[in-house]
Each structure stands twice: as structure tokens, then as C-alpha cells.
Amino acid sequence: MGVAAASGRFVAFLDDDDWWEATKIEKQIASMTRQSTEFSYTATYFHSGNTVRTLPITRYGAGSSMGDYLVLRPGLRHGHGYVQSSSIMLTRRLAQHVAWDESLSKHQDWDLVVRLEEEVGEKVSYVDEPLVHVQQASKSSISTVRNWRRSVPFYDKHASSLGKTARGDFIATQILRSALAAGDGQGIVYAASGLSKARVHPAALIVSLYGAVEFGKRLRQRVAS
């Protein structure tokens, strides 16, 4: 609705709990104008409790796919590759041409960024300065609800364009972790089948096992109550 109603040259997104630095718009427009690009994003301040980290850990580089950049998990901490929707600015033309996929119940932001890169190629403007503040998702948000089936549509849509390790890391951190957290045997079997055809970083496997920890914690809470 917002993009369709836009009348200016540029469009930027802002999630409910996030906020921008005062110079964000100015610096992104300057960067996009200087580089003649239609897609820009910035570094991000990521707030988790009393801790603030600057993301991404590694900036996106030419020669790699945006899908791989976003889903690869070479380390235990998230944010190796990171493009947050509140950091994105697009030309109105591009924003209207590459719309959000509302059929996806999860990973809509990743899907949008992957399709934006497919549209513009390597002509992406990155402002290497944290100009947006992002709050860690609340316990009730879609990104933290452990339902492995919500991740499958994104995987089905983009698996063919992901590298073998990226496919494995996504299955481990998104599907297997959620299945373990829910104690869902069908999801565990689905993930195991996918992992048998992929490669995976050891860190991604360790992250997936956090799901079992979450399941055990919830089980103990039920017993205690």
C-alpha cells in the first residue's frame, strides 16, 4: 500500500520498532546519486538487551550471490551477512517493480533482497556506516516463532540459486532448529533429507542444536507447572 501511494523519487522502509539516524536519508540519496544505483542499504546497529552490535560482520562483495551472503552461517553469531529492511532505500521505480511477496509468512525481507539483486545485479550502493537501529525481535514475532514449515516456501523458491553450503546452512539454522524446538519429527526428517544433499558449516549445525535446548527448556517449564 505504501509503495503504491509513493510519489517521490525514492522509497525507504522502516519496521515498527526500528529507528533511523537523522542523516540516513541524506547519505543514502547522496550515495545512490553518486553511484547511479537504484538499490541502497546501510550498516545497522543491532540492539539485543543491553548489547549493541554493528552489522554486517562481512560486507557483501562482488562475485557472490546475495542469497548466499544472507543465509550462510560460518560463525555462531548471526549477522555475517546482513541486509535489514529498515536500512533499504530504493528508487520508486524499482520498489514498484520488485514488490514484497506477501505469500511468504517468513523470510519476506530476504526474498525481497534476493530479487532486488537479481534485478539490478552488482549495482548496489552500500553505506558502510550504521544509520539504522534494529531491535532484536520480540518473543512473539514471526522471526522467533519456531515453525519449520514457514521457512519451506522461501527455500523452495530460492534453493536452485543458492550454493550447496548456503542450502545446508539455511536448512540447519532455519528448518532443523525450528523442528527441534517444536519436537516435530516430520520437520527433523525433512531437514535431514535436505542436509544429506548439501554441505553445512559446523557453526550452522551447532546453531541448529539450540532448537533442542529450546525444546528441553519448554518441556521443563511444562513439568514445573
User: Hey, which residues does 90 pair with through a beta bridge?
Assistant: 11, 39
CATH superfamily name and code, 2-135: Spore Coat Polysaccharide Biosynthesis Protein SpsA; Chain A (3.90.550.10)
pLDDT, position 112: 98
| Statement: residue 140 has pLDDT above 50 | no
pTM of the model: 0.91
For Cα atoms 119, 90, 72, give the angle at the middle one, nearest 5 degrees.
60
Q: What pLDDT digit, counting tens, does each position of 89-120 carry?
A: 999 999 999 999 999 999 999 999 999 999 99
| Statement: residue 39 has pLDDT above 80 | yes
pLDDT, position 144: 62
Cβ neighbours for 18, distance < 8 A, ≥ 6 positions apart: 84, 86, 132, 133, 134, 135
